[in-house]
Amino acid sequence: GPKVLQIPSHQIIDMGQMVTLNCDPVSNHLYFYWYKQILGQQMEFLVNFYNGKVMEKSKLFKDQFSVERPDGSYFTLKIQPTALEDSAVYFCASSLRTGGTGQLYFGEGSKLTVL
Amino acid sequence: QQQVRQSPQSLTVWEGETAILNCSYENSAFDYFPWYQQFPGEGPALLIAIRSVSDKKEDGGFTIFFNKREKNLSLHIKDSQPGDSATYFCAASEGGRALIFGTGTTVSVSP
């Protein structure tokens, strides 16, 4: 089936540093998402992105977070500066239609460890 | 406040039994309810979904029963197999907005 690729699979950084998580979504998809998962538990919505803009974001999407997809390349999540509580697995997803009605395809996650 | 709740947190069934996973929600405006299956080390994948205009949806050995009045739904996994061992997430959305996931139920199927 369609694949969403995430790079890196695992990153360890010191608190206060910047990190960029990269996502290569399914090629013809139009909607992009980031979710955060801690300890294999609940998937928490962070943000969705469409047509170059943030469409919706949750309270977890702090001011230190930003997303972009320059020139149709990787969809990125940047955290600057990082905090200890940002340690989690971040999942990127994409869909052809809005996620409320369309199937989301998830990547395998990027595990972020903040020391 | 948790918008989508699942129970139990974990469940063990014998091979061949039916596993029943429960989900309840707060927002009566939710109109789309997919279930996602996640294996360790992987991202979730869509398993089956139902819209609020229906009360039942079947796909293979998976069935969703939906009760709009009570604001709850359940996923039945018939004839469970060890390969069905995974974490199952109930999710919900309103009018095309982002999916909100529940807390998950981890199912173990013993041979």
Q: Domain residue spans in chain A? A: 5-92+100-114
Å from B99 to nearest chain A CA? 6
Low-confidence ranges of chain A (pLDDT < 70): 99-100
Residue B52: list chain A partners with CB under 8 A: none
CATH of the domain spanning B4-110, picked from 2.60.40.10, 3.40.50.720, 3.40.640.10, 3.30.470.10: 2.60.40.10
Q: What does the pLDDT read at residue A41?
A: 81
Share of chain B above pLDDT 70, in %: 99
DSSP per position, chain B = --SEEEE-SEEEEETTSPEEEEEEES-TT--EEEEEEE-TTS--EEEEEEETT-SEEEETTEEEEEETTTTEEEEEETT--GGG-EEEEEEEBSTT---EE---EEEEEE-
State whether B98 and A56 contact (CB < 8 Å).
Answer: yes
* Closest residue to B99, CB basis, from A4, A99, A107: A99
Mean pLDDT of successive 10-residue stretches along chain B, which has 111 residues:
89 97 96 95 94 94 97 97 96 89 95 91
Residue B104: list chain A partners with CB under 8 A: 40-43
State whether A103 and B94 contact (CB < 8 Å).
Answer: no
Share of chain B above pLDDT 90, in %: 92
CATH superfamily of A5-92+100-114: Immunoglobulins (2.60.40.10)
Q: What does the pLDDT read at residue A59?
A: 94
pLDDT, averaged across chain A: 93
Q: What does the pLDDT read at residue B1?
A: 59
